[in-house]
Amino acid sequence: MRKPTLILAALTALAAASGACAQVIDDPEANVVESLVVQAKLPGPAWWKVSDGDTTIYVLGIPGSVPQRLDWDTSVLDRRLDGAFVLLTPAVNRTQLADLPIFLRTRRRLKDGSSLTQVAPDLAARLDRAWNRTHASGDWRDWKPLGAGLMLAAAARNDARLTTSQPDRTINRLARKHRVPMRPAAIYEATPLLEAVVAQHSDAAGLACLEGVLDEVEAGPEPIRRAARAWADGDVRGALA
């Protein structure tokens, strides 16, 4: 029997070997039984399962950001990691010291251009309120819409005590505990990718990004906290909402 495989990604997945003694039912509707066995909902976040004859992959979707101290039941994850073959984690970005000139050049591009008060006068008042509310550093008037959106999003996340490093850290820690090999779904160079995005994005795309961030800041962190709590409770509909 193969070892289970656990895959973790922005969609996390765990693969396990299927039992050789699993019962096969060709036509469930052709069988009349006196009792019905219903599997109770497992504690913690929801899992998806994909399997073939000898391998089962368990997939766990994880939020983009959660409260820094979010508690969630890891018992199912802990059990599936026990004997797992591999843990596939989300794609990771890599930065190098040699990328510093590219980063500085990209940062300048996010500032060069017309003032935001000229490009998006209808957003200026909203942006000013959101900037002060989240204690973003510097002056929003120095940035292009995309740059202002990126700065504001980071400041809002810090102000609301949200983190993007969880629940990944907890999952990786448990994988090390069970000595399960971890492998990212992909590795990419972050700085050149950011440079390409900044160089090629349109003004309309930058404004759309900024407006989306403003909508989130004005809504406050509570919707994200509710979604994170729903995720932890296995409430998929609530997590997506």
Residue 41 lies in a domain: yes
Q: Which residue carries 């200026």 as its tokens?
A: 124
* pLDDT tens-digit series, residues 186-227: 898 888 888 888 888 888 888 999 999 999 999 999 999 999
Please tell me the pTM assigned to this model: 0.73
What is the greatest pairwise CA distance in the chain? 74
pLDDT at residue 18, as a whole number: 37
* pLDDT tens-digit series, residues 19-64: 333 344 455 555 555 665 555 588 999 999 888 888 889 999 999 8
**Alpha-carbon distance 139 to 151, whole Å?**
10
Residue 188 lies in a domain: yes
CA geometry: angle 61, 239, 213, nearest 5 deg = 100
pLDDT at residue 66, as a whole number: 93
Residue 234 lies in a domain: yes
Nearest to 217 by CA among 144, 146, 135: 135
CB 60, CB 236: distance < 8 Å: no
pLDDT at residue 35, as a whole number: 61
Residue 134 lies in a domain: yes
**Alpha-carbon distance 1 to 116, whole Å?**
62
pLDDT at residue 39, as a whole number: 54
Residue 28 lies in a domain: no
**Alpha-carbon distance 186 to 206, whole Å?**
27
Residue 185 lies in a domain: yes
Q: Which residue carries 């990691």 as its tokens?
A: 81
Which comes out higher in pLDDT, residue 132 or 110? 132
CB 162, CB 217: distance < 8 Å: no
pLDDT at residue 193, as a whole number: 83
Instruction: Name the amino acid, one letter, at 208.
Output: A
- Say how many domains are in the chain: 1
Q: Which domain holds residue 184?
A: 5-23+33-240
